[in-house]
Structure 1
Amino acid sequence: MRPTTRLLWLSLTALILTGLMLPVANGNTGLLVLPWTVLGLLVLVDLVLSFGRVPRLKIDGPEQLFCNETGRYELVFERALPDQLTLRFDWPEGLTGPSAISPDAGVSPVPIEVRAKARGSWRFSTTWLNWPSRLGFFEFVPQARNALKITVMPDIRPVLNGEIDLAVQTSLMGQKNTFQEGEGSEFHQLREYVPGESLRRIDWKRSARQRKLLAKETRAERNHSVIVALDNGYLMREEIAGLPKIDHAINAALAVAWAAAAGGDQVGLFTYDSRPRIWHPPEPGRQGFPRMRRILGELAYESRESNHTLALATLKGQLKRRSLVIVFSDFVDTTTAELMVEQAGHMAREHLVIFIALRDPETEALAAAPVVSLADAAESVAAADFVRERRIVFERLNRLGVMCLDVEPQALTPRLVSMYLDLKAREAA
């Protein structure tokens, strides 16, 4: 509780009246304290009328959210809301919502939308209630404590809604796998030859035994190794499209891990920052996906500089067979990317490597923005140089045999899953 401007002005008025009455009071203290007595009575009446108006707050809503998901919560008040009530919120690092709302008097529950922007377990915002007393002499500002904790997890909605399963089954089990040449090397079945098909499909020995032309059907080979390598250095903490880059990478990594699991491949996990951190050898995806999801959900945000040389050399030494290695990382310029490019090139000699970096649409917009001042010119030139140096790095990686994916965050998951399915269908890995 704190005094309002109204009470301060009334106190100043009482002080002025007391000063004006000093020459005529002639030692009559009762006359001098009269303004203060009236003010004290008004204050007492205000407190009595306002007593018992403190609303009790309870919060209803989901206790779990996916990264970048917006959840709807309800603030339930067990008592009638006082007039002119304002709710102010102090949000933790991983959650965001309105800074303040003013619900209508008597309306309960009060809806509020909360967006999850970082993984972890976060206590719902500290809520401050703010309303004036009946006569406006005081302002009540109690803090409403609540026990609701919200767990923010990696976004696996593409897995839960079946989009990835449908894409995998369509790609690997549908007509495309049956009629296009070069779709697989694993024998599936024999069937009668259809005129017009490639003669290379004919199994001549079995055709001679059966005395009719028989064609071989093949499908994509399974049991490949897919390694997800996550750079968790400080550059991956930069926020793009409302989430840190590492969270976009984790969401896409889980999506491609599920696609690999549906396609019958084995999935491994490798994380690093200043040194290698987590290494889980490849295992069947259906069994390893829950563990991978838990590990990535608990992955801390780091502020260390990434050591690509040590990390990629360590990963290369762990791999015993040819694998598809998907590296999520970031860089600032050609100088900082030098060692990363060199190590990725070495790994690409023995493995199939996909290098993924997130494109910042704001930087590209800044490079293409019209220039109207010297400050705009400086920003545009700096942004253009940054974009140009990124392209140089990607060109060097392509020349070394590394496939690159430079996309905006919203396109990362579909593009990566599509690339994986295309490589699997062609058996490039």
Structure 2
Amino acid sequence: MNSRSAFLLILIFGFLITGLISLNGAIIALSIPLLVYFGVAAWYSPAPPRLVARRTLPLEAVFPETPVEVNLYLKNNGEDLQEVWIEDQLPAGLIVLEGETSRFLPLPAGEEVRLSYVVTGGRGDYRFTTLQVHYRESAGLFEGKIPVQASHRLMIRPRPRPLRSVPIRPPQTRGFAGPIPSRQGGVGVDFFLVREYQPGDPMRRINWKVTAREEQNLFTNLFEQQRVADVGIILDAREPGYGGASNNPLFEYAVDAAASLSETFLKDGNRVGMLVYGAGIDIAFPGAGKMQRQRILQTLARARLGSNFALESLSYLPTRFFPPRSQVILISPLQPHDPEVLVALRAHGYQVLVLSPNLIRFEAGQVRPNSPEELAQRIAQAERRFALQKLRRAGIQVLDWDVRMPLEQVLRQVISLRPLLRQGIGTPA
């Protein structure tokens, strides 16, 4: 029953009581058509339906702003339903481009109806759960509503941008050929050292200039072996570092940078792991290949800014997630106490690179010139430069990223510092 049927019952009883009190049969007769109308509607009132729904998507993992068609099928396994209102529940963040997410129609027993529409949206992990089905008889006096389960998942992953190979110099490499110099002599491109000739050395590697200075010994050129390495990428998702805003657009730049860097290192054959550090810890354990690429992109698709008092400091980073003496890349706007943790991480033998999106410059356009806010920004910028300089003095590579500049251009600074990279500590495995 609904408000209409309740009003009709009140009207019927009102006529009956008034007619009985006044002993007026005409008033009582007025209630008869209404009573018949209510009785017929009650006779045809629908029983609780037995509905089954299924949902299909041609693509379950796409990049942002990609149109995706959603097909929803609803089948009636019970009695006839005279009037049905189907209303799908869209996850927040998706936008309907074509079609409709609701429909009004009759649904006879055994029949199936399809609801089709096209959606798109930004990066995220979207979960379709249920649709609401409203049913009633044609008089509209008896109705009901039930949720029908139609679960599905749409993963909109960040789109990696093409980058050139980023030169890194971790203290330890793995025993597979790759692009990273390993500080060991062997087959490679870059000159490593000269040693005495040993049986089996190719003649084309003999250094004739050095040999000419000796009367009896031959000398051979050795080149530096190139191998792959372990790379751990940390995405800082702590809300206070992004100005305390849960939807700060600067975070999307950080996510895109994490996706692009992981794509670049995986293409070079390295083992890459991803750690999102914010309201919780989301991890894609180190791996290589196409499947690892999918795991990392799915981890980044779920990344959200958040706060957690237990994780407000980087000192709680699960460092065991990173293999010893590997390359660690932190993407973070940095908070006041972060430099001390990064210096300690460097002291434990990790090669650390910090890509720091500059929140102060990002928000500079929102401040009026010659205002107290502008002075505060200048002070904050000076404190930031001091913190970054402290990291550089500890041997940590720091890239101060103004996000108005393309990431590719910022990473060129790493290539320009290639000679400094060769001074990394440690010996290869």
What is the TM-score with the length of structure 2 in the denominator?
0.57
Larger strand proportion, structure 1 or 2?
2
Matched, 1:257 2:262: yes
CA contact (8 A) 1:249 1:328 kept: yes
CA contact (8 A) 2:125 2:153 kept: no
Which residue in 2 is equivalent to 1:87? 87
Measure, in 1, the Cα distance between the counterparts of 2:255 and 2:283.
Answer: 14
Q: Deviations over 1:75-118 (max 9, x none)?
A: 23447997683515274x8x7567x9543658843325364764
Which residue in 2 is equivalent to 1:354? 354
Measure, in 2, the Cα distance between the counterparts of 1:140 and 1:268.
Answer: 50
| Pairing partner for 2:132 from 128, 135, 143 | 128
For residues 154-233 of structure 1, the aligned pairs below 5 Å read 155=157, 157-158=159-160, 164=162, 167-168=163-164, 188=189, 223=228, 226-231=231-236, 233=238
Shift in Å at residue 228 of structure 1? 1.2
**Does the C-alpha gap of structure 1 residues 308 and 389 become closer, same or farther in structure 2, counting only changes over 3 Å?**
farther
Matched, 1:75 2:82: no
Which residue in 2 is equivalent to 1:22? 20
Which residue in 1 is equivalent to 2:2? 3
Shift in Å at residue 23 of structure 1? 3.5
SS in 1 for 2:338: helix
| Pairing partner for 1:45 from 30, 40, 56 | 40
**Does the C-alpha gap of structure 1 residues 392 and 11 become closer, same or farther in structure 2, counting only changes over 3 Å?**
farther
Shift in Å at residue 73 of structure 1? 0.8
What 5-or-longer segments of structure 2 have no aligned partner?
107-112, 168-180, 192-206, 212-222, 422-429
**Does the C-alpha gap of structure 1 residues 102 and 272 become closer, same or farther in structure 2, counting only changes over 3 Å?**
closer
Measure, in 1, the Cα distance between the counterparts of 2:258 and 2:339.
Answer: 21
What is the TM-score with the length of structure 1 in the denominator?
0.57
CA contact (8 A) 1:327 1:355 kept: yes
CA contact (8 A) 1:258 1:286 kept: no
Shift in Å at residue 395 of structure 1? 1.9
What 5-or-longer segments of structure 1 have no aligned partner?
172-183, 191-204, 210-217, 332-336, 371-379
Which residue in 2 is equivalent to 1:304? 308
Measure, in 2, the Cα distance between the counterparts of 1:60 and 1:292.
Answer: 22
Which residue in 2 is equivalent to 1:60? 56
CA RMSD of aligned residues (A): 5.8
For residues 297-336 of structure 1, the aligned pairs below 5 Å read 303-305=307-309, 306=311, 308=313, 310-311=315-316, 315=319, 321=325, 324-330=327-333
Larger helix proportion, structure 1 or 2?
1
Shift in Å at residue 259 of structure 1? 0.2
CA contact (8 A) 2:333 2:359 kept: no
CA contact (8 A) 1:223 1:266 kept: yes
Shift in Å at residue 134 of structure 1? 1.6
**When the two structures are aligned, how many residues end up with a matched partner?**
357
Which letter maps to 1:113?
V
Which residue in 2 is equivalent to 1:12? 10
**Does the C-alpha gap of structure 1 residues 125 and 309 become closer, same or farther in structure 2, counting only changes over 3 Å?**
closer
Which letter maps to 1:3?
N
SS in 1 for 2:164: helix
**Does the C-alpha gap of structure 1 residues 344 and 422 become closer, same or farther in structure 2, counting only changes over 3 Å?**
same
